[in-house]
Chains A and B, each alone.
Chain A
Amino acid sequence: MRWKQAKGRTVVNTSTAENLGTLSGFAVNPDTSQLVALVIGDQVITWADAGGIGKDAVTIADEEMVRPPESSLEKAAAGGSGDPVGKRVITEDGHDIGCVADIDFDAQTGAIRELVLGDDEVLGSRLLGIGSFAVMVSSAQRSMGGGQLDALSKAELYEMAKTRDVDGRSSMTKSELIDALA
């Protein structure tokens, strides 16, 4: 599921069938690359209490699950500064690799699969932090420590192909770049 697709979903109390409000964002734990809470107005709901995002609505069993933010992550999310969408993506070694256009996550577990950067993407597991102005991700070198080239964005793969002088790199797709660099 995409972050932008999920935002705006109605939050429904299944005990009373009443609409409680609209999903306006998420709190992200960058250490685990997980969505840990849902934001509804200036309140939050722990991810586990919601049990994920439903196909058409977010459902919770008890209105008391909607509570004020407590952790710094939840406060940042409820205040709007924790929203990664629209922020620059900077690697830990200082490279600006794009802007977060959207986030792809598992609707049940909240695991962030990818940061979508326009027509490019990086694996969610590279997430290190979300600041007021930028999202920090691990460096290309560290990210491919396990030999996982698919952890890198296409732009990073292209830079690597340039360093190795791979022929035809400018017309290659991301998977072709991975094959050429493997």
Chain B
Amino acid sequence: MKNRAAPRSGIAMSSDRPASIPGVPRTPSGGDVIASAVLTESGTELGTVVEVVIETGDRADVVGFEIEAVEGLRPGDDHHVFIPLPDTLAISGDNIIVPDSARDFVRDDLTGFGGAVADFRSQLGEEA
């Protein structure tokens, strides 16, 4: 398994098939989420999933995806970014749907990504 832990964050990544990690989302058809399109609720494509970001601890919690971002999502030439996920989300063999506000919490690397996930989920909790 390829694991890259970010210092002090408790965040790790896996490019293995998600079936090998408890809690990592799988599509209803049993396929994994790698290469799935990430779409906002209002219909804007953000990119395609490259890797799954999990929070390590007593149990694995999927907290985000590394995505190959569509052009224009972030400034600069590096189009690989990290996007936080809500507690629950809709996944099919076609798409992964995220709230529109997820794009406000996109990060260029894993440094501070745990905080971005917490802020994003906290904001969603306040909206609910």
Contact = CB atoms under 8 A, between A and B. Distances in A.
Contacts of A55: 42-45
A58 interface: yes
A116 B63 CA distance: 47
Interface string B28-48: 000000000001111111000
Interface string A25-43: 0000000000000000000
Given A17-B95, A17-B96, A57 B43 contact: yes
A15 B45 contact: no
Contacts of A56: 39, 43-45
Contacts of A58: 43
A18 B94 contact: yes
A17 B92 contact: yes
A14 B93 CA distance: 13
Interface string A1-36: 000000001001011111100000000000000000
Nearest to A58: B43
A17 B93 CA distance: 8
A12 B97 contact: yes
A21 B91 CA distance: 17
Nearest to B36: A17
A19 B43 contact: no
Given A12-B39, A12-B95, A17 B90 contact: yes
Contacts, number: 52
Most buried by B among A19, A53, A57, A58: A57
Contacts of A57: 39, 43-45
Nearest to B42: A54
B39 A16 contact: no
Contacts of A54: 40, 42-44
Contacts of A19: 92, 94-95
A14 B97 CA distance: 6
Contacts of A51: 42
B17 to A, nearest CB: 19
Contacts of B93: 18
Closest 5 CB pairs of A and B: A54-B43, A17-B92, A17-B90, A56-B45, A57-B43
Interface of B: 39-45, 89-97
